[in-house]
Amino acid sequence: MPDKSQRSQPHCPPGPNGYWFLGLFRIPTVKPWLTYVEWGKKYGDLVHFTRLGRHYLVINSLEATNEILDRQAGLTSDRPVHTELDDIDTVEFILLFSCYLLAQMPYGDEWRVNRRLFHQNFRPLASIDYRPIEIKHVHKFLSSIGSLEMSLKDQVSALSQGVMFDSVYGLEIYNNKEEMPTHARDVVDLSELILLPGWDAFKSIPFIRFFPSWLPGSHQWITYKKMGAAIQATKEDPWGQTMKAMKSDENHSSLIAKLMSEKPQNKSSQDIESIKYMGAQAVAAAADTTMSAVCTFFLAMSLYPNVQQKAQEELDTVLGHGKLPTFDDRSSLPYIDAIYQEVMRWHPAIPLGLPHFSIKDIYYRNYYIPKGKAMTHDGARFYNPDQFIPERHLNQKNNINSILAYGFGRRVCVGRYMADDMIWMTIASVLATKNISSLPNENVEDYFTDGTFW
């Protein structure tokens, strides 16, 4: 790459204009991905804007994403949240954010250690251990479908949270409204707000955190405080219950129990904290993501009955009518796999991805991208992108790494192998045994709430 002096006057990519420094006040907070796609059509695959002195870059093309987030991953793997919070050296910061979750950690040695721990326990081989639990919960879910006690969305949420609490802590979740799954969802819901451009005003205007709660602006700092409390509860409560279960039940089995009984027996408090954060991160990461993907699948099947019929024909031919699939059947069911990939493309669980933050100025094409950009992407690069067309994935050499919904570069989703198993098993099992009829509302966007997640 040529050095700075050799370039012909690099400049920031185009984007909507705002006020200098203060930036643009029309930044969307409602379904922002729709606006980013519109901006992409107007300005190109890189859209730049500023807000309160911070630069944002929306990446709308796979080519640019690969170049910036993969090939320059050493510079663009940081996260915006804590990097800037570190600048606020207050007691509140130390109290609230001494709790670090992997997804929000700044890129560096601490992230590397915690990412390795997570990877060891959720890599492809380790993820196979969770399959019996996934099958047990999917079968339980199948028998609960149609019950009037809970909405379909709550049942799906209980399924995705149930799998994770069972796998990590050996704890049963009967209802997603119980305290522990609610705290895990709070972590995600609150992070979703915090990651949107514009929710970081108190970093540029620090005295906001001294505002009384009734004053406009104070809600941002209050949200951070609530998130700190939710993280703390998600880290400590299931851990405490698992410690009790390990003492009272000799048959107790869980990831936490396995890690705690591994050598060395007398673990340092730092090692124990890392295990605790890994557990909390896992239940928080799974809270909305797998739920969102499974709900998207139900929506797609209700809108595209021909796809459902084709899938059921494949299942009937390969397995026999009404027979439940096993993981060994996956390679013989290409159309079911194509449906899974289309679910992940059509409405990704995290439409904007998680923001990346660059630690140094970088260059791409003739654009100068100043240090400190948050980067997101929009995956609309397929023909008729709004249509649900599983066929587009058939005869492609796709694998889990081609699924853009799992993110990019060194921060790519570290729980993707387990998520992949879990979502595939749910899709295949539902199609093998149920007929999904129409949902009440035909406007697809109405099913997708505001913010980062479904």
Asked if 418 interacts with ligand HEM (CB under 6 A), we say yes
d(CA 304, CA 144): 23
> Under rule CB under 6 A, which residues in 84-113 are in contact with ligand HEM?
102-103
Which among 189-197, 248-256, 350-358, 393-401 is the span making contact with ligand HEM, rule CB under 6 A? Answer: 350-358
Contact between 426 and 297 under an 8 Å Cβ cutoff? The reply is: yes
Asked if 31 interacts with ligand HEM (CB under 6 A), we say no
Which among 58-66, 150-158, 264-272, 286-294 is the span making contact with ligand HEM, rule CB under 6 A? Answer: 286-294
Find the shortest distance in angstroms from Cβ 77 to ligand HEM. 8
Find the shortest distance in angstroms from Cβ 198 to ligand HEM. 20
Q: According to CB under 6 A, which one of 59, 299, 350, 431 is a site residue for ligand HEM?
A: 350
- Closer to ligand HEM by Cβ: residue 183 or 356: 356
- Closer to ligand HEM by Cβ: residue 282 or 300: 282
- Closer to ligand HEM by Cβ: residue 245 or 374: 374
Asked if 286 interacts with ligand HEM (CB under 6 A), we say yes
Asked if 138 interacts with ligand HEM (CB under 6 A), we say no
Asked if 75 interacts with ligand HEM (CB under 6 A), we say no
12 assigned to a ligand binding site = no
Q: According to CB under 6 A, which one of 289, 296, 358, 376 is a site residue for ligand HEM?
A: 289
3-state SS of the chain is: CCCHHHCCCCECCCCCCCECCCECCCCCCCCHHHHHHHHHHHHCCEEEEEECCEEEEEECCHHHHHHHHHHCCCCCCECHHHHHHCCCCCHHHHHHHCCCCHHHCCCCHHHHHHHHHHHHHHCHHHHHHHHHHHHHHHHHHHHHCCCCCCCHHHHHHHHHHHHHHHHHHCCCCCCCCCHHHHHHHHHHHHHHHHCCCCCCHHHHCHHHHHCCCCCCCHHHHHHHHHHHHHHHHHHHHHHHHHHHHHHHCCCCCCHHHHHHHCCCCCCCHHHHHHHHHHHHHHHHHHHHHHHHHHHHHHHHHHHCHHHHHHHHHHHHHHHCCCCCCCHHHHHHCHHHHHHHHHHHHHCCCCCCCCCEECCCCEEECCEEECCCCEEEECCCCCCCCCCCCHHHHCCCCCCHHHCHHHCCHHHCCCCHHHHHHHHHHHHHHHHHHCCCCCCCCCCHHHHCCCCCCC
- Closer to ligand HEM by Cβ: residue 50 or 191: 191
Asked if 163 interacts with ligand HEM (CB under 6 A), we say no
Q: According to CB under 6 A, which one of 64, 81, 307, 413 is a site residue for ligand HEM?
A: 413
Q: Cis before residue 216, ω within 30 degrees of 0?
A: no
Asked if 135 interacts with ligand HEM (CB under 6 A), we say no
Find the shortest distance in angstroms from Cβ 298 to ligand HEM. 14
- Closer to ligand HEM by Cβ: residue 202 or 357: 357
Residue 151: how many other CB atoms lie within 10 Å: 9
- Closer to ligand HEM by Cβ: residue 50 or 281: 281
Q: According to CB under 6 A, which one of 65, 281, 296, 358 is a site residue for ligand HEM?
A: 281
Which among 11-19, 170-178, 190-198, 401-409 is the span making contact with ligand HEM, rule CB under 6 A? Answer: 401-409
Asked if 414 interacts with ligand HEM (CB under 6 A), we say yes
- Closer to ligand HEM by Cβ: residue 118 or 221: 118
Residue type, 56: Y
Which among 13-21, 269-277, 332-340, 412-420 is the span making contact with ligand HEM, rule CB under 6 A? Answer: 412-420
Residues at the binding site for heme are: 413
Binding residues, as ranges, are 413
> What is the contact surface with ligand HEM in residues (CB under 6 A)?
102-103, 115, 118, 122, 281-282, 285-286, 289-290, 293, 348-350, 353-354, 356, 405-408, 411-415, 418-419
